[in-house]
Amino acid sequence: MHTPSSSIDTFLASSVMILLALSAMVGTSKLMTPYLNNLANRDGDQRFQYLASHMLLATGAPVNWGQMKSTVPTSLGLAKADALMPYELDIDKVSRLNSENIYAVKYSDLWKAFGMKDVSFQIEIKTLFELAIELISNSTQGSQVIYEFEVAAGKSGMPVSASLSSYVALRDFVNKTQSSTSSAGVGRLTIGIPSTLNGTALLLVFARARANPQMVSFNVYAFGHNSESPLPNRTFTRLSPLDYVLNASLSYATVDVLKAQVFTFNYNSSLPEKAQGVQSVEYNVPRLLDASPFVMVVTGVNGSTSFAEWVSYPQVPLQIGADFSQSVAGSRITVHSYVVTMNSANYEVITKWGGLKENV
């Protein structure tokens, strides 16, 4: 029987072609700039399409505002300064849109920097397809506890056929496993952890679409190994990546970090310590050449409690901007979706546009 995965695979395979086509139609942000301030009387959809494209094609000012921790941009643009192609975004500018990052820029500052006083906007950035993880079973076999997980990859309810690369991290222990999803988008992972260990374990799963290797999704599943269920992520640390440095702000003076690591689809590496502060530690992040999101993991203890916490780089998914769910009935909201690139991996950007919101 023919599975519905073929249609979504076609979508994924054509995403780069869509990206190139959009680049050719729109051109560069420099060509668009003279028109931006003269669009007030244009049709709303056309105007907002230009504004959305400009936001993704312009670098903003300063051009490297993403790497400048305390700098608020005077002009908003998310493009990488030395981009090799249109719609290549800066990993740090995107990360600073996430409110969980200690260097985040507020929406009110972004709105002022964009300079369009009669409109409000919302930005959402995420991977091109979703990844769900479910623990199916666990059993003791010899000196290990064997865990079996089911992984489902999909886009808008349609299955995605993908290669899977997974890691389990617990204290100093790391184990890598590879698998794949079927044409129905479902795969199985079997993970073994020594019975002598205990504490919070993280299962990190990266999925690379077979139809296009630039389409990579990820998810992280936390579970207790010979211990109680873990507390929510960010209970013991606040992890903020910027300019290839990971800042770990410790929630309690009693927190002791044991290890910091980075993971991608193909690689994993320990993070060398850069500096220590008052209840904070900084780590250098290697510039791994892999078309993949980075996921950083910090393991440690707080008294007798073992923990493992994580953050992605770029720090997605994220959503920032006006709350259009409270829009007045009959008001018009325009939505534009784009495929963008960060570190050779593709993501989806969804922008929403409407009239000025009072809470800017």
pLDDT value, residue 45: 85
Q: State pLDDT tens for residues 179-194.
A: 999 999 999 999 999 9
Q: State pLDDT tens for residues 108-153.
A: 999 999 999 999 999 999 999 999 999 999 999 999 999 999 999 9
Would 213 be classed as within a structural domain? no
The count of domains in the chain is: 1
Nearest by Cα to 257 from 277, 280, 274:
280
Nearest by Cα to 241 from 307, 168, 318:
318
Would 300 be classed as within a structural domain? no
Would 215 be classed as within a structural domain? no
The rounded distance, in Å, linking the Cα atoms of 344 and 21 is 18
Beta strands in 71-209 (DSSP E): 119-127, 130-141, 144-155, 158-159, 162-170, 173-180, 186-194, 199-209
Q: Which two tokens stand for residue 228?
A: 């109680």
Would 235 be classed as within a structural domain? no
Would 188 be classed as within a structural domain? no
Would 144 be classed as within a structural domain? no
Q: State pLDDT tens for residues 260-278.
A: 999 999 999 999 999 999 9
pLDDT value, residue 210: 96
Bigger pLDDT: 15 vs 53 = 53
Query: Is residue 249 over pLDDT 90?
Result: yes
Would 250 be classed as within a structural domain? no
Q: Which two tokens stand for residue 86?
A: 């249109």
Bigger pLDDT: 180 vs 32 = 180
Q: State pLDDT tens for residues 294-317.
A: 999 999 999 999 999 999 999 999
Helices (H), the chain: 5-26, 29-36, 44-57, 91-95, 107-114
The rounded distance, in Å, linking the Cα atoms of 217 and 292 is 8
Would 139 be classed as within a structural domain? no
Domain of residue 20: give its range: 5-127+316-355
Look up tokens 């002022």; give the residue.
112
